[in-house]
Amino acid sequence: MDTKAQGIAVAIAITMATTSTFAFTPIGSISNKGSLLVYPRIDVADGNDTLITLTNDSSAAVRLKCFYAASDDLGTPYSGTAADARRFKRYTDFTIDLTHNQPVSWWASTGQPDDTNMPGVAPPFGFWASDGTTATKAGELMCWAVNDAMSTQKHYNHLFGTASVLNWQTGQAYEYTATSFQAMGPSTMTGQDFGTAGAINLDNIQYDACPNILLGNFSPGGRPFDVAVGDQGPHTRITLASCNQDLRQNYTPTITKLTWTFWNRDERQATGTHTCADSWFETDFPQTMLSAQYVMLGTEAAYFRIETTADTQICGPSASSNAYTGIITQSYGPGVLRSTNLTGRGVAAPAVIRWDPAPDDSYKK
């Protein structure tokens, strides 16, 4: 073999090795359009309202199945079963029809668009059809493409959206991008019935996968200067929406243990923080987590990692591994607020969103 041929052979071998070594698993993204959108935080409490935008970037019309959902805090440790946790979970569903290239927006508190004389796009957030209560004022929104009969999902990677949370009392606001999950397969499948009816499998086979680890940067609270003036300093809230959801009438909640690890600017880590979570979870620190305070971390910059485990000793006999998407919101005082999506990493965790499709009535035709 001559030198040129050897060079080509080596180049091909390196390319093959590189492709294998650095192969990646597609996971939910905020930079792609998708067939499923997850908005981790919708808020209508304490003077807040949420402006939701959702757009169909296609020359075809599409029908969406949507759910508002929330879960109350389980507490840690949690000793009950998944069946016991039914009382903590709430949801309500609705349908949105989008014409070609149509954007819609609505306020979560009313379901109305900016022009309140227009018909409502969605029901008001906070009335839970699953149990008839209005107890919970924060939660999540999920929407995905379905066929016109609503009997199964549809391959339709043309959806994107945002959520803007505004407080009319303080004037504070923040915005984040909905996480989108693409239906797998070529674009020639667009508009076709897709996947397993009633089960959105986020497994990198039917839909993009969901990560088992989430990362976020934050500023620890409780700094000496803040304490000296009687302030907590930066306040951080983490909101997680599970990629494992049971939205059927006869639903079973998903329970997992979240393991938190914190690192400061000097690469020193703080461990030992664990929380039990359902399908929607929210926590604040430093108030609820000593490991996230400045007194423990000692630097003004830090980051955290959240991993899920099936710890049945801490979170009850039904605990399982899980996968989440989420956002971080941080306040630095009156009028100073920021929010961004959490970053996913790690292997794809098993995840499925289950829902009740409409019965097949084709026999009536």
Name the pLDDT band for 171 (thresholds 50, 70, 90). confident
Helices (H) and strands (E) in the chain, counts: 4, 23
How does the average pLDDT of the chain come out, rounded? 86
pLDDT on residue 169: 84
Work out whether strand 269-277 and strand 324-331 pair parallel, antiparallel, or are unpaired. unpaired
Residue 307 and residue 296 share a domain: yes
pLDDT on residue 130: 73
Q: Which of 216, 177, 258 is nearest to 345 (CA)?
A: 216
Is residue 10 over pLDDT 60? no
pLDDT on residue 233: 74
Residue 187 and residue 285 share a domain: no
Residue 201 and residue 328 share a domain: no
Q: Is residue 343 part of a domain?
A: yes
Instruction: List, in order, residues 6 or more apart from 305 with CB less than 8 Å away.
Output: 213, 214, 215, 260, 261, 263
What whole-number percentage of the chain has pLDDT above 70? 85
Q: Is residue 362 part of a domain?
A: no
Q: Is residue 13 part of a domain?
A: no
Residue 169 and residue 61 share a domain: yes
Rounded to an integer, the average pLDDT of 128-133 is 71
Q: Is residue 133 part of a domain?
A: yes
pLDDT on residue 285: 83
pLDDT on residue 25: 62
Residue 304 and residue 325 share a domain: yes
CA 30 – CA 44 distance, rounded (Å): 23
- Which tens digit of pLDDT belongs to each residue from 337-364? 889 999 998 666 779 999 999 886 543 4
pLDDT on residue 278: 94
- Which tens digit of pLDDT belongs to each residue from 242-294? 999 999 999 999 999 999 999 999 999 998 899 999 999 999 886 668 788 88
Number of domains composing the chain: 2
pLDDT on residue 15: 35
Residue 299 and residue 259 share a domain: yes
- Which tens digit of pLDDT belongs to each residue from 45-98? 988 999 999 999 999 999 999 999 999 999 999 999 999 999 999 999 999 999
Domain extent for 151? 36-75+88-209
The DSSP call for residue 60 is S
Task: Give bridge partners of residue 345 from the DSSP assignment.
Answer: 213
Residue 242 and residue 299 share a domain: yes
Q: Is residue 31 part of a domain?
A: no
